Amino acid sequence: MVGYDPRADGRNISSFEVAVAGSVSGLVTRALISPLDVIKIRFQLQIERLSRSDPNAKYHGILQAGRQILQEEGPTAFWKGHIPAQLLSIGYGAVQVYKTLRDAVATMYRTEGPLVFYKGLNPTLIAIFPYAGFQFSFYNSLKHMYEWAMPAEGKKNGNLKNLLCGSGAGVISKTLTYPLDLFKKRLQVGGFEQARVTFGQSPSPQVRSYRGLLDCAKQVLQEEGARGFYKGLSPSLLKAALSTGLVFFWYEFFCNLFHHMRTANSQP
């Protein structure tokens, strides 16, 4: 967990154990929240409004989308793209619309060449630094607020504090940077509109072509309105709250576990 050192709290753990705790916490959390990520990306790629009133809209709510995906694609669909997500692949969004990682990589390379794997890099780079900064800044601020507002007996449950403050930090940070995430996904799947035919505008989807970040933002604004920038925000916020909270929860859990193991081994 970059920017947060549990040894500052007096815990006796090594740098290697800190790294292991951070890696495992991220691995476990990613597996648990993958279904929300799949739904979020489906919402982001749907050009139509996320509304029951739009006859061309395939998805219009988290529960409805979950049932639809389960019925049409089975439970494994909720972990589509999970492997490249764990590896932090830049093509995670594109993998969502293909059968396998191998199929996605082969098709993308064959049709557009090696540069296709870096589509969406600009909004990614623009968003990553403020998001990480917001996340830890709000996490620390919320921890101070928690300490101030919570009665003395409530402060004993450190895991609850980490979960609540981490979740709050994730929600705030994701809301502030969300449009860049949507632009990234739209740019990543550019050129693969036929693969998203089942996401809406069936049976003949209108092909979208974006020349870059600014052009993508302009087209989304013109065709979908300002609300289009926040398509998929609800599952994204739920994902951010759960993922950030769980990451900090599991991170603290494993750090504390290593600390207690070291303490127990050091006793005569």
DSSP, collapsed to helix, strand or coil, labels residue 57 as strand
**pLDDT value at 174 more than 90:** no
Provide the pLDDT confidence category of residue 64 given band limits of 50, 70 and 90: very high
Higher per-residue confidence, 236 vs 115: 236
Which is more confident, 114 or 225? 225
Q: What is the mean pLDDT of the chain?
A: 77
* Spatial distance between the Cα atoms of 140 and 198, rounded to a whole number of angstroms: 43
Maximum C-alpha span of the chain: 73
Summarize pLDDT for 191-217 with one digit per residue, the tens.
555 555 555 554 444 557 788 889 999
Plot region of 252 (φ>0 → left; ψ -120 to 50 → alpha; else → beta) = alpha
Is residue 19 within 8 A of residue 50, CB to CB? The reply is: no
Helix 233-266 and helix 121-149: axis angle, to 10°? 60
Rg of the chain over all Cα atoms, to the nearest angstrom: 21
Q: Which residues contact 188 (CB under 8 A, 6 or more apart)?
A: 90, 91, 92, 93, 94, 119, 120
* Per-residue pLDDT tens over the stretch 213-241: 899 999 999 988 999 999 999 998 888 77
- Check residue 98 and give its pLDDT: 62
Average pLDDT of the residues in 177-197: 75
pLDDT for position 14 = 75
C-alpha distances in Å from residue 70, one per residue of 48, 101, 226: 21, 20, 30
Listed range (77-81, 118-122, 145-149, 244-248) with the worst mean pLDDT: 118-122
Select, from the ranges 33-37, 145-149, 167-171, the one with the highest average predicted confidence (pLDDT): 33-37
pLDDT the model gives residue 156: 63
Which band of pLDDT confidence, cut at 50, 70 and 90, is reported for residue 130?
A: confident
pTM above 0.75, yes or no: no
Residue 149's DSSP bridge partners are none
CA torsion 59-245-262-11 (nearest 10°) is 150
Question: With 80 as the cut, is the pLDDT of residue 31 above it?
Answer: yes
Greater confidence, 204 or 141?
Answer: 141
Whether the per-residue pLDDT at 124 is higher than 80: the answer is no
Residue indicated by tokens 């993998």:
95
- Backbone dihedral angles phi then psi of residue 216, each to the nearest 5 degrees: -60, -50
Q: Among 9-18, 23-32, 66-75, 89-98, whose mean pLDDT is lowest?
A: 89-98
User: Could you give the angle at which helices 233-266 and 158-188 cross, rounded to 10 degrees?
Assistant: 130
- Picking from 13-27, 147-161, 215-229, which range would have the lowest pLDDT averaged per residue? 147-161
| pLDDT digit string, tens, across residues 75-110 | 988 988 766 666 554 344 445 556 566 776 677 677
Provide the pLDDT for residue 83.
65
For residue 96, the model assigns a pLDDT of 52
End-to-end CA distance of the chain: 32
